[in-house]
Amino acid sequence: MQKKDSEIGTLEKSIMDNRTNEVNTAKEVNNNLNILRGQVAFMKMMHGKVDAWLSIDISPSQEQVDKLKESVTTALNKIKKGDQQ
The end-to-end CA distance of the chain, in Å, is 48
CA separation (Å) from 51 to 43, 46, 57, 66? Answer: 12, 8, 10, 16
Sequential pLDDT tens for the chain (85 residues)? 567 788 888 999 999 999 999 999 999 999 999 999 999 998 998 898 888 877 776 677 889 889 989 988 988 888 888 755 4
Domain of residue 73, residue span:
2-84
Task: Tally the domains of the chain.
Answer: 1
Q: Quote the pTM value.
A: 0.52
